[in-house]
Amino acid sequence: MNPTWKYLLDQMEIETANNAKKAVAISQFHDSALKTLSVTYPGLLPLYERYHPLHLTLIDEYSNLDSTGGAKQGDRVSVALLLASSKETLVDEWMVDILKVHKKGSPAFVAILPKGLSPFNDKGIDARIAAYSTLAKNIGTEVALANMKAEIITVHTNLLAARNLQKGAKTTTSNTSDTLDIARIAAMNMQYRNLGNMMDTYFDTKEVLCPLLFDLVTLRIHPQTVFTGNLLATNKKAVMAHTFKAGDTLGVKTTQASKVYLATTIGGIDSIGIAVVGNIKTVLDVVDFGVTDFTNHRFLTIVNEAAITGRFAVTLL
């Protein structure tokens, strides 16, 4: 059986499979380029007129996904923040209360926390949530820890509620993504057809027009999603340049108290500074930086507010 000739494979569709955001990016580029260049190259106007409706449908479906995914996004943040704050309370308050009653390593202490804090650091969200229920059960009827047990049960209930909302939102988002993929494929197939039309009409200038009409950089490059580095004491660090959109989120973890900015210049701080606590991963929504023009505000900066050198890790979620 002979393999498919590579020139018959639609690279636009292949490279955007399971990546609607990438499809939207190259569609925006292609749609805008067709409209602009059709003034100089009239032969491109019919390509624009047939592509533009498909582009608008893709944008509309992607917006619908963002809308239905809003609950999912918000609830994911809620779960993450609740887990982070609960872990802080566990370490700073509840552990202190337990140690006032039971010496670390004693049979009673081990009965309450047989695996120490490791269950609360599990990679699985549900396992970390369940750890609070187990902790409450292990405390049992001990009078000295009764108030703390009640607080733990409340935290566990809140975590379960937030987690259930998140799971419900995932179902809605999954249903919407089917129609988005149909729109993605239609737009990417039309880009592929436009490529052939452009090569036929403007064969002698195809090498010049191709990178002007198609976002080859985004098509070819798999973007970096995790950024790490050192933070000098009381200093700032330019982390990355990235074009965000409203609704995008970042995961930020530093080893010390810091502030994060989305600036218009490399290393700049001309936005609202969002504080992050050391050694706790914080999920940030880019709209919280107080900017609306993500074309100009695209440089992420972290400022180390501690008098010691540390490290950071930023993840594009």
User: Mapping DSSP to helix (H, G, I), strand (E, B) and coil, where does residue 228 land?
Assistant: strand
Q: How far apart are CA 217 and CA 60, in angstroms?
A: 24
Q: How many CB atoms lie within 10 A of CB 15?
A: 17
CA proximity to 167, closest of 248, 72, 68, 67: 72
Mean pLDDT computed over 78-88? 75
Helix axes of 206-213 and 146-201: crossing angle, nearest 10 degrees: 150
Contact 112, 139 (CB under 8 A): yes
Can you give the pLDDT at residue 228?
83
pLDDT, mean over the chain: 82
Q: Tens of pLDDT along 97-153?
A: 999 999 988 999 999 999 888 888 876 778 888 899 999 999 999 999 999 999 999
Asked whether residue 2 carries a pLDDT value surpassing 70, the answer given is no
Q: Distance between CA 61 and CA 53 in Å, rounded?
A: 12
pTM of the model: 0.44
Identify the band that residue 234 occupies on the pLDDT scale cut at 50, 70 and 90: confident
Name which residue leads in pLDDT, 71 or 252.
252
Place of tokens 């970096």: 224
Is the pLDDT score of 273 beyond 50?
yes
Tell me how far apart the alpha carbons of residues 302 and 208 are, in angstroms, rounded to a whole number: 40
Q: In the predicted model, what is the mean pLDDT of residues 79-89?
A: 78
Structural domains of the chain sorted by starting position, each given as residue range(s) with its CATH number in brackets: 9-223 (no CATH), 226-316 (2.60.120)
Cα 71 to Cα 83, 134, 191: the distances in Å are 18, 29, 32
For residues 17 and 106, give the distance between their C-alpha atoms in angstroms, rounded to a whole number. Answer: 55
Backbone dihedral region for residue 11 (phi beyond 0: left; psi -120 to 50: alpha; all else: beta): alpha
Q: State how far the Cα of 26 lies from the Cα of 47, in Å rounded to an integer.
A: 16
